Amino acid sequence: MCLSLSLSLHFLSLNSASPASPKLKLFSVFPSKASPFFFPFSSMGSLSDPFPRLLYPAARRDDSIVDNYHGVVIPDPYRWLEDLESPETKAFVEAQAAVTDSVLAECSEREKLRCEITALFDHERYEAPFKRGEKYFYFHNSGLQSHSVLFVQSKLDSEPEVLLDPNALSEDGTVALSIAAVSRNGKHLAYGLSSNGSDWITIRVMRIDDKKPESDTISWVKFSTVSWTVDGKGFFYSRYPAPKFSDREWDNVESGMETGINLNHQLYYHFLGTDQSEDLLCWEEPENPKYRFRATVTEDGKYIILYIYEGCDPVNKLYYCDLATLSGGLEGFKGSKGFLSFIKLVDNFEARYSVIANDESEFTFITNKEAPRYKLVRVDLTKPDEWIDILQEDQKDVLQFAYAVNGNQLLVCYLSNVKHILQIRDLKTGQLLHCLPIDIGSVTKVSGKREDTQIFFSFSSFLTPGIIYNCNLSTSVPEIKIFREVLVPGFNREDFLVKQVFFPSKDGAEIPMFIVSKKNITLDGSHPTLLYGYGGFNYSLTPYFSVNRVVLARNFGFVFCIANIRGGGEYGEEWHKAGSLSKKQNCFDDFIAASEFLISAGYTNSSRLCIEGGSNGGLLVAACINQRPDLFGCALAHVGVMDMLRFHKFTIGHAWTSEFGCSDIEEEFRWLIRYSPLHNVKRPWQKTSNASIQYPSTMLLTADHDDRVVPLHSFKMLATMQYILSLSILKTPQKNPIIARIDRKAGHGAGRSTQKLV
């Protein structure tokens, strides 16, 4: 993300006519020597000054590839770029990388930015401690370590010891710790490792007392948690069957370079000290190959809860297994050909159900059943038809989560106008007991069990790098103290101002947005501005601290903004549904309206406005520049979903059809083809009387090991944009660069090292 922001600064300065622009060296780009992949048609640069031509790679177009979608013929000339391992695709990637590297090399501010960002990253960071058995565990990064280190200590004030240092697992920081699950008795650590940012995980086990590795190795794990049984003899995990690949593909399995669809998820139980081949297959549904499974063991250790998911909507089935009904326990189940005897409590995908606590067979759940802003309900498993509300849906705030703590109390978090509120309530009645005083921001992590009178939670905001609070619940009024606070040298929160504004979208809906700037700026339309959005999958963008954005605001006067557009979960499931499926266009309208507000309010102008988003947000950015190329000076689309007609054919893309729809269905194809970024690139100067309108300076960012949104999306989009806007027309008005940054040995974003972030 930080490198992309470096580029945004450079592009915005080139395209701005404002006298407030930083004086950067303007650049010209030529390859060092002739290459068959370069085609000298396109030129680039500012709107006012001529520039030497930027030579884009001439990607082969295969006009024979044509699909018929419900009577509509759609060409796909760059289908060959879907083969990530073909020599032709690799040559395309290398040629594009050469263009981008030569552009970035001419940015005089890039090294200054790198130094500033590195300096701000160089500060201690902690995560909230958690207790297992009689030991405490926490993660810590001394500043510029590639990954945070897992520490263990016998007491909170005792000397900590390194338990697992992921930085020792690879020289270049490309092996990351994705899962860390300590057994209930505190004797073993099951940890999952991923390489190069891939979603594939390998689980290993370590003894905690002497820090010695066990022989256990679990492969083919993806989209999984690890849940230990209370006896510490093993754990549940989820995986896919080992695939059958050709020799070429086999080398890349579990590395993130494959694009094959992920089907037939399975739930297993692993016995400590045994080979994976002996693991118990606890559940699978071959007749429903797109289902995904996750199991947790209740805090009392008596029940296994099985969650079943199909898409990405906040809905799931929920089954349970009473371990007391297994003769001989799980060990006695060895050799059995059947699955565990799960009982189906919820056997449809109409709502979300998640266990909060249980007293024997009496369970408390959080759910959105007939409550789009969520509520707490209770049912006795012996009376499965008798559900009662414990904490009813709030009229305006969204119930985010609840944890059972301090015996019969609940730590409850609400989202109120995109800010978190914490409360202590009674577990039995839901009655409000205390409101916990926190600043405007986000609660990022909670650490505490039902037996604990002392809990921890982490807090962050745009101007708060991070605070871990210790909350003592044993007193009549909870006592909250700062346990640890992250301090960033050179950062002074008093230099900045945070506002939340509301603006109308195209259909009149009121959309919230956070605006962060230096204090006392003049609203004269001169400020370079970074607008970030996501708008999908029920995900809420709450306030958080960003080193790179602080650098831009402090050093270059950037205003940065977070638009809470529809499609997210900021106001519950209704807000989410208003930006998904047939209503996806609302997301783009909201983001465009946010841009227009920032211009009309005097923060910026279109030539100095950069938009940014990742994944679903990358789709957002690409769709917006297709629809309003005149509105932006720069666009940064990270790991975006660009081909809305074929996304469901790769890795886990089929799960996103609950959010987008599927081109296999005619009605849904009609939604998708209207905004699919790949299929809506048009020459803007041909749609208006203004012949100078062009696409903004655009960078598509992807990674070679992204097996979530596979890089073929960005590859095909890049080739399409360069061809339509530049390569296919001799005297093109498109002067702004259209380039890509293709990260190596990296994935969708998780597990990225500090060095890669910088």
Tally Cβ neighbours within 10 Å of residue 138.
22
- Tell which residue, 563, 573, 716, has the closest CA to residue 658: 573
Distance CA 406, CA 427 (A): 10
Is 275 one of the catalytic residues? no
Distance CA 228, CA 295 (A): 10
- Annotated catalytic residue, options 706, 713, 714, 743: 706
| Cβ(740)–Cβ(100) below 8 Å | yes
Instruction: For residue 271, list its beta bridge partners.
Output: 234
Both tokens assigned to 299: 């805090």
Is 748 one of the catalytic residues? yes
CA end-to-end span of the chain, whole Å? 8
Is 615 one of the catalytic residues? yes
* 328: exposed, middle or buried (Cβ count in 10 Å: 0-12, 13-18, 19+): exposed
> Cα 640 to the chain's mean position, in Å?
11
- Tell which residue, 337, 277, 340, 349, has the closest CA to residue 312: 349
Distance CA 653, CA 655 (A): 5
- Collapsing DSSP to helix, strand or coil, 107 comes out as coil
- Annotated catalytic residue, options 615, 663, 676, 714: 615
Instruction: For residue 239, list its beta bridge partners.
Output: 221, 266
- Collapsing DSSP to helix, strand or coil, 70 comes out as coil
- Tell which residue, 281, 319, 317, 320, has the closest CA to residue 303: 320
| Cβ(400)–Cβ(368) below 8 Å | no
Give the DSSP H or E segment for 517: strand 510-518
Cα dihedral sign, 377-380-384-385: negative
- Annotated catalytic residue, options 270, 576, 713, 748: 748
Distance CA 167, CA 150 (A): 11
φ/ψ region of 415 (left if φ > 0, alpha if ψ in -120 to 50, else beta) reads: beta
What are the helix (H) ranges across 293-346?
329-332
What are the helix (H) ranges across 557-675?
573-577, 585-600, 616-627, 657-660, 666-675
* 543: exposed, middle or buried (Cβ count in 10 Å: 0-12, 13-18, 19+): buried
Instruction: For residue 403, list its beta bridge partners.
Output: 411
Cβ-based neighbours of 340, under 8 Å, separated by 6 or more: 280, 282, 283, 304, 321, 326, 333
Tally Cβ neighbours within 10 Å of residue 247.
6
Which residues does the annotation mark as catalytic? 615, 706, 748
